[in-house]
Amino acid sequence: MGLFWLTVIAVFLLAIVQLIVGIFVGQHVSRFWKTRSATNGAEVGRLHHLATRLRELVSGVVADVGQHRSQIRQANEELSSVQAVEGQDPSEFVLQSVARIVEVNERLQTKLRVAEDRLQQQTEQIESHLAEARTDALTGLPNRRAFDDAMAQRIAEWQRNKLTFCLLMIDMDHFKNLNDHHGHPAGDYVLRQAAEVFRRSLREMDLVSRIGGEEFAVILPSTNMGDARRVAERIRLETASEPFQFEQTVIPVTVSLGLASVEFRDDAVSLMRRVDEALYRAKDAGRNCGYLHNGAVCEPIQLAPLPADAPDAPDAADAPDAADLAAVCDDLRLRLAEVARHGRDSLMDADDRC
């Protein structure tokens, strides 16, 4: 009987595991459905339908387990009441009870296997819908929802561990005129093609999202302002040189950019505000250019054009170019000037050598 009761315990554990998983997934989908009021009606309907089916599945498992427990309890009571009667062998009655328990056990195992398969299918469908809810259907990039979540995570890491990052905003220049002149199919093509340009200009760890009609945002983790400036210029130059050809028409496309690095007291709102200010300055300056917000004011992103054989990834360039050397010398000049103001004139020769 030891093996038998071990089997019964195992079945109960399996039932409990399935029940917990089903309830967890059902509650997760229900919370998602209730909190995402901005989601379109079709998406909400699909998720609500899946949540309802999961709840029905969990209810069925609960009912099956309850019935199983009741039948096992009844059989156990019958076995406990068996008493040896003179001239009567109780073994046949015991064997019948055990056979009934085994049959009940097998029925529950079959139902649990079916429920497990259905639960796996439902979970995969939910994961697919959740992924779709975080993806821009036109470009395949993460959407505003995914960007907001990533921003919240990066801000939390900055506030907790001072893990720096930069934020880059990209706006397609004169996109309304493009739609009006070439048509919306051409505009959709440009957006999809631009998304590919942005992808290949970035590292795998960078997150580029479409957050509006013609607006994109890029989170650059573990990136200082010098590297972020090079990324911004690379995107601008590669977009301008990309042959956007829709049907038989080549469409000139440029972008304006705003850039900022996370600062001491930044949250998501303040960082976005500074990046927006830099982007507006780029538009006011004539577009097809980039501005950065240094924490106090906006200034243009000024870099020498990248050579034609420059690597795509921003962290792949090991050899310094002219822009790198110029930036280093500018920094040295500022530092040496500050030292000189404190009476250490002897170091000014190093400034002259730069």
- The single-letter code of the amino acid at 61 is V
Q: Would you state the structure tokens that stand for residue 291, as one six-digit string?
A: 């501005």
Taking alpha carbons only, the member of 184, 177, 307 closest to residue 252 is 177
Dihedrals phi, psi of 133, to nearest 5 degrees:
-70, -15
Question: For this structure, is 215 an active site residue?
Answer: no
The torsion of the CA quartet 218, 219, 225, 227, rounded to 10 degrees, works out to -70
Helix crossing, 2-35 with 91-133: angle to 10°?
A: 20
From CA 58, how far away is CA 15, in angstroms rounded? 10
The CA–CA distances, whole Å, from 185 to 69, 191, 240, 254 equal 62, 10, 20, 18
Q: How far is CA 115 from the centre of its chain?
A: 30
Angstrom CA distances, 270 to 112, 210, 219, 260, stand at 52, 20, 15, 10
Amino acid of residue 300: P
Complete DSSP assignment for 180-216: HHH-HHHHHHHHHHHHHHHHHTS-TTSEEEE-SSSEE
In which element (H, E) is residue 259 found? strand 255-261
Considering the candidates 92, 157, 214, 263, report the single residue annotated as catalytic: 214
Q: What's the token pair of residue 17?
A: 């595991």
Rounded to an integer, what distance in angstroms lies between the CA atom of residue 105 and that of residue 42? 42
* Contacts for 100 with CB less than 8 Å, ≥ 6 apart: 71, 75
Report the distance separating Cα 206 and Cα 347, nearest Å. 40
Any idea what the Cα angle at residue 306 is, between residues 300 and 307, rounded to 5°?
160
Active site residues: 214
